[in-house]
Amino acid sequence: MFDKLKDVYQLQKQARAMQAALAKEEVTGMSRDSAFQVTVNGNQDVLRVNISDGADMSKEAVERNAKEAFSDALTKVKNIMAQKMQGML
């Protein structure tokens, strides 16, 4: 029983270490037209949103660009997470 508790403790410790390492990672996702950028950390917290100077977009274009940029950033974060998980195994 104590071995199982020790294993759980080790998993929790590894998870905290992974979360701390991911918090230090930053990635920037871009919309297809590069007018919109979203920067997130490895814990998927939004750090910055950037709209290109002079961008004159409709509400629909802002929504589409925001979605594209955020999706791009999340894809990059998932790749980083997968690499870090490989390193733990």
pLDDT at 60: 92
The domains located in the chain, with CATH, are: 2-88 (3.30.1310.10)
The model's pLDDT over 4-21, given as tens digits with 9 standing for 90+, comes to 777 888 888 888 888 888
Separation of alpha carbons 22 and 81, rounded Å: 7
The answer to whether the Cα torsion of 29, 30, 31, 35 is positive or negative is positive
**CA dihedral of 56, 62, 65, 69, whole degrees rounded to 10:** 110
Sequence-ordered alpha helix ranges (H) in the chain: 2-24, 59-88
pLDDT at 67: 95
The model's pLDDT over 19-63, given as tens digits with 9 standing for 90+, comes to 888 888 899 999 999 999 999 998 889 999 999 887 788 899 999
Please choose, from the candidates 66, 16, 76, the residue with its C-alpha nearest in 3D space to the C-alpha of residue 44.
76
Six token digits for residue 57:
């977009």
Half-sphere exposure of 32 (CA within 13 A, CB side): 5
